Structure 1
Amino acid sequence: MSGDGDAPSDRLRDRADQSRWKLWAFLEADRWLVAGILVAFVFLVLVGAGYLYPTTENAIRSSDSVDTLFQGFLTATITGVTLVLTLNQLVLSQELGAVKDQRERMEGAMAFREDVAEVIEAAVSPSRPAQFLRALVQVSGDRAEDLREAVPDSDDGDLASEVADLTDSLVGNAERVASGLDDARFGEFDVISSALNFNYSWKIFTARRIREQYGDDLDEEGTEALDRLIEVLQLFGPAREHFKTLYFQWELINLSRQILAASVPALLVSAVMIIFFNDATYSVTVFGVETLALVMAVAATVAVVPFLILLAYVMRIATVTQHTLSIGPFILRETDDVTEVEWNRDS
């Protein structure tokens, strides 16, 4: 086995081949803010198109566009409510089960917590997700320090260099992520955001590569320190995936509530426009400006709000899923910092 290169960045926004603003909109920004921006964009486009087109009022009154448009919105809103019910059933299906299934879930959770408690050398592992992940991150930093001390000055310059690169990167990354998890609360995106910035996959790969390539050059203390580091890194993966799953369920529940709340005014507005504005006889001017286009823009924007809320939430869920598809030392994203690793069958 040969070939090496600089490790990819620890921060997700640097690893991903996407602009900072795009990742901010997809991940970091508050979902209500994103939905509000989308609502404002739709409204401004509709108003702008309505007043830039010189014969807007005549075009609306001489066609059945009001009836056609809002009947489509009415159908889409009802379909959206049905989708919300489906999402709720999906979330509930994860929680329903026989006593045997629930007991197996409980035993699995307790066994994992005991494994983590043993690794972090605590009587009981933390109960809060942010503290749980923070403990694993801090212990990984401590064990990286132990590895650095166990391989201080090796005769093999390559070994010393690779261990130094790994431990320096891991210690710094662990400090930043642990700091981000300090005040994080589950239900907010801070926990998952900080966890995404801990590049454990690459660190497991690098640590295992060091063990396989330089195992004969490591003494007993160095080998034990490396194995202990790999052990805690391997626990971080399932912990992050578990809390990511719980966060998705939390977000789907919030999404369901918000879409249901937004669907009521959307349904009412669509129904009012179909019943009372179908012939487009509305004619009110303010300061000499016809307001029919403005009313149509407001009504259409309100009718499309449930879809925009869905879009805002799905953007984040889909982006997080894309960047966490694999668990363990697999690098799925194309990054400029990761070079090809060549494997020699004869070595």
Structure 2
Amino acid sequence: MSGSTEGSPGGSASGDAAESDTDTADTMRERAGENRAKLWLLLRADRLVVVAVLTLAIFVVFVAVAVGLSPSLAEKVGASDPIETLFASMITAIVTGATLVVTIGQLVLTGENGPLGDQQERMDATLAVRDDIAALTGAPTPTDPAAFLDAILGAAAERAEELRDSVNDRGAGGDRSDRAALREDVDDLAEGVIENATAVRGQLDGAEFGSFDVVFAALNFDYGPKMAGVERLVADHDEALTDDERDRLGELTESLSLFGPAREHVKTLYFQWALIDLSRLILYAAVPALLVAGLALSVVDAGTFPGRTLGVDHVTLVVAGAFAVTLLPFSLFVSYLLRVLTLAKRTLAIGPLVLRDSG
């Protein structure tokens, strides 16, 4: 964990280690250190595409293992009845899983229910934050989630530019070494904020909530280390800063700090959206899965699908396909949960706290 530093023998933390805490990559993929294919599978890929890939993989692995076993599946079916055992168990699992999904959906919706007083408190808190953002941006707060985040990022970039201009204008002539060092650090900080905010705003442009594009773009603005960078700059250049520059640093910190709860709010809404979609899709998939399991249980036996293709018994292909289809509800669950858990892990901390290696 990059946020952890050990004290020196004298008891003080290393300055280089503290600096590395804020010197992290901007994009989530670079910070995570994961390869592109893995990150695509966990986050970016359409969840139904992941389900299709997982279903195909189950089918292929089932056939490969069944063909490799001796005796073959067809001979096993003739000698006993493993199909009845398999699909009877699958029917029980599907019904139990669908019931569990309904329970999850109820838990998600529980947060939306409550007495009138609680709903009024939620509304007051929401309006208070919207007022803060409107005061920061000088314009009405957007209602679209992508535009909502874009407005905060625009304000952060504007505050960073104003800070850089203020420091450079004041130090135009006859600079002392401390002012030169201040200008250099402010330039680095402002450049990081502006470039990162501009890139993320481009990703938010045209993004629609519910497609994960908005949340994924928000992950690419690493506001925490930038807030820590402001704190470090104030500590390193306390005597060189003017009152006006301190005010501008405070405004920049305010804009960065507002992005944190705004991103968490959008992420929470996405979690609820995704879990409701998951519940609905699993209930939809449970019906054909139960039908296929019932047909396999009632119809398929050693003599139902005679013959072989490419050395593979037809009954093996049928049983493998039926098994993959009956696992559709579980495949949907795995697909959505991979994204939700990965997203939750990448956004555990709020504020300037780094929970992973910067490299």
The TM-score normalised by the length of structure 1 is 0.92
Deviates more, 1:133-142 or 1:62-71: 62-71
SS in 1 for 2:211: coil
Distance in 1 (alpha carbons) for counterparts of 2:336 and 2:58: 17
Letter aligned with residue 150 of structure 1: S
SS in structure 2 opposite 1:215?
coil
Partner of 2:324: 301
Q: Closer, same or farther in 2 for the Cα pair 1:231/1:287, shift >3 Å?
A: closer
Post-superposition shift, 1:121?
0.7
1:344 aligns with: none
**Equivalent residues in 2 for 1:213-252 (5 A)?**
213-252=236-275
Alpha-carbon separation, structure 2, partners of 1:325 and 1:82: 30
Q: Residue in 1 aligned with 2:101?
A: 84
C-alpha displacement of 1:335: 2.3
Taking the aligned partners of 1:125 and 1:283, their CA distance within structure 2 comes to 64
Partner Cα separation in structure 1 for residue 121 and residue 266 of structure 2: 18
Q: CA RMSD in A?
A: 1.7
Superposition deviation, residue 253 in structure 1: 0.8
Q: Residue 24 of structure 2 aligns with which residue?
A: 8
For the pair 1:194 / 2:211, whether they are aligned, the reply is: no
Shift of 1:160: 2.5
For 2:294, give the aligned amino acid.
Answer: A
Look up the match of 2:296.
273
Give the CA deviation at 1:242.
Answer: 0.5
For residues 207 and 310 of structure 2, the distance between their equivalents in structure 1, rounded to whole angstroms, comes to: 53
The answer to whether the Cα contact below 8 Å between 1:16 and 1:333 also exists between their aligned partners in 2 is yes
1:185 partner amino acid:
E
Q: Using the TM superposition, name which of 206-215 and 282-291 deviates more.
A: 282-291
Paired residues for 1:140-289 under 5 Å: 140-152=156-168, 153=171, 155=176, 156=178, 157-277=180-300, 279-285=301-307
Asked if residue 93 in structure 1 is aligned to residue 115 in structure 2, the reply is no
Distance 1:73 1:38 in 2: 17
SS in 2 for 1:110: helix
- 8 Å CA contact 2:108–2:275 kept in 1: the answer is yes
CA distance in 1, matches of 2:186, 2:165: 10
Q: Which moved more, 1:99-108 or 1:39-48?
A: 39-48
Please list the CA deviations of residues 180-207 of structure 1 after superposition, one character each: whole Å capped at 9, or x if unmatched.
1110111111100100000001101111
1:310 Cα deviation from its structure 2 partner: 0.7
Query: 1: CA distance between counterparts of 2:90 and 2:47?
Result: 23
The answer to whether the 8 Å contact 1:147/1:225 transfers is yes
- Structure 2, unaligned stretches of length 5 or more? 1-12
Partners in 1 of 2:145 and 2:158 — Cα distance?
A: 20
The change in CA–CA distance for 1:288 and 1:314 in structure 2 (over 3 A counts) is: closer
Deviations 1:45-89 (A, max 9, x none): 122333344632102322332122112211211121012111111
- The alignment-based identity, stated in percent, is 40
Asked if residue 119 in structure 1 is aligned to residue 141 in structure 2, the reply is no
1:130 corresponds to 2:130: no
Task: Please state how far the C-alpha of 1:22 moved relative to its aligned partner.
Answer: 0.9
Q: Which amino acid aligns with 1:128?
A: D
Residue deviations 1:294-319 (CA, integer Å, cap 9, x gap)? 11011101111110111010000000
1:51 aligns with 2:67: yes
Distance in 1 between the 2:89 and 2:188 partners? 59
Offset of residue 256 of structure 1: 0.7
Shift in Å, 1:287: 6.2
Corresponding residue of 1:20: 36
Partners of 2:25 and 2:89 in 1: CA distance: 47
3-state SS of paired residue (2:355): coil
**Which residue identity lines up with residue 241 of structure 1 in the other structure?**
E
2:52 alignment counterpart: 36
Answer yes or no: is 1:109 the counterpart of 2:144: no
TM-fit CA distance, 1:221: 2.1
How far the C-alpha of 1:286 sits from its partner, in A, is 6.1
**What one-letter code is carried by the residue in structure 2 that aligns with 1:143?**
R
| SS of the residue 2:111 aligns to | helix
| 2:349 corresponding residue in structure 1 | 326
1:345 counterpart residue number: none
Q: Which letter maps to 1:47?
A: V
Contact 2:23 2:358 in 1 (8 A): no
| SS of residue matched to 2:238 | helix
**C-alpha contact 1:50 1:294 (8 A) present in aligned 2:** no
Amino acid at match of 1:190: D
**Alpha-carbon distance between aligned partners in 1 of 2:305 and 2:348, rounded to the nearest angstrom:** 55
Instruction: Identify unmatched segments of 5+ residues in structure 1.
Output: 337-347
TM-score by length of 2: 0.89
Is 2:87 the partner of 1:70? yes
Matched position secondary structure for 1:125: coil
- How far off its partner does 1:239 sit? 0.5
